[in-house]
Amino acid sequence: MSAPSLTLFHNPASPFVRKVRVLLSETGQQDRVTLQGCLPTPVNPDAQLVQDNPVGKIPALRLADGSVLHDSRVILDYFDHQHSGTPLIPREGAARWRRLTLASMADAVMDAAVLVRYETALRPVEKHWDQWLDEQRKKIRRTLAEWEANALGELAGHFDIAAISVACALGYLDFRHPDLQWRLDNPKLAQWYAEVSQRPSLQQTQPPAG
């Protein structure tokens, strides 16, 4: 078999990369990509990645013709147009906007969680901005409370872009921010997550230990 012609710039710790890998697995496309590892941080961009994506963020996807897609939302949309099953991003109607909004909330949780990670893991402790960190954590807690109160039925209905994104956001909280103990205030969300975590796509893409 010839080598895949698509290159996914990736890091197994990134929840944004994980969304793409989960969708690839759910749609049977994981063999289409070669994974190219990189570890960009705000203070240390990856030189190779920057050549392909000036923004310097992962995931980025280099296509066979050399063009590059980013960010994760664009790449997810691309791959969702490349399989013959039921689309995981509804193509039209109210479902499209609702599912994309839930996915966008999950992206916002990931953004906040990654920023907190950078601030606490990379920045000297005497420079930590505690009020800003608190607000990021509050954003995460508010969003999880909203899912707990109003989105469980929708999430349980279909493992699509919304459910994939929420699962990857929760997985990242477990990975980098176990101190948040998000399950305490969100038992129904925790139950849903325990169930979907058994899916092979989530099992295969778990973040690395440590």
Residue 11 near ligand BEZ by CB under 6 A: yes
Binding window for ligand BEZ (CB under 6 A); candidates: 8-16, 27-35, 74-82, 177-185: 8-16
Contact string 130-169 vs ligand BEZ (x = CB under 6 A)? ----------------------------------------
Q: What does residue 71 show for φ and ψ, rounded to 5 degrees? A: -100, -155
Residues contacting ligand BEZ: total by CB under 6 A? 6
Which stretch in 9-17, 122-130, 178-186, 194-202 sits in contact with ligand BEZ by CB under 6 A?
Answer: 9-17
14 in contact with ligand BEZ (CB under 6 A): yes
Query: Within a 10 A sphere around the Cβ of 34, how many other Cβ atoms?
Result: 13
Q: Candidates 46, 151, 176, 192: give the one binding ligand BEZ (CB under 6 A).
A: 176
Is 46 or 80 the residue whose CB approaches ligand BEZ more closely?
46
Are 180 and 140 within 8 A, CB to CB? yes
Q: Which residues, other chains included, contact 93 with Cβ-Cβ below 8 Å and sequence gap of 6+?
A: none
Is 50 among the residues that bind ligand BEZ (CB under 6 A)?
Answer: no
Residue 8, strand partner residues? 35, 61
The interface mask with ligand BEZ, positions 112-131, x = CB under 6 A, is --x--x--------------
Q: What are the CB-based long-range contacts (under 8 Å, 24+) for 33-39? A: 33/4, 33/6, 33/7, 33/8, 33/61, 34/3, 34/4, 34/6, 34/7, 34/8, 35/7, 35/8, 35/10, 36/7, 36/8, 36/9, 36/10, 37/10, 37/11, 38/9, 38/10, 38/11, 39/11
DSSP letter, residue 160: S
- 13 lines the binding site for ligand BEZ (CB under 6 A): yes
Stretch that binds ligand BEZ, among 6-14, 19-27, 44-52, 181-189 (CB under 6 A): 6-14
**Separation between Cα atoms, residue 185 and residue 138, nearest integer Å:** 13
The distance of closest approach from Cβ of residue 58 to ligand BEZ in the complex, given in angstroms and rounded to an integer, is 6
By CB under 6 A, residue 10 contacts ligand BEZ: no
- Residue numbers at the binding site for ligand BEZ (CB under 6 A): 11, 13-14, 114, 117, 176
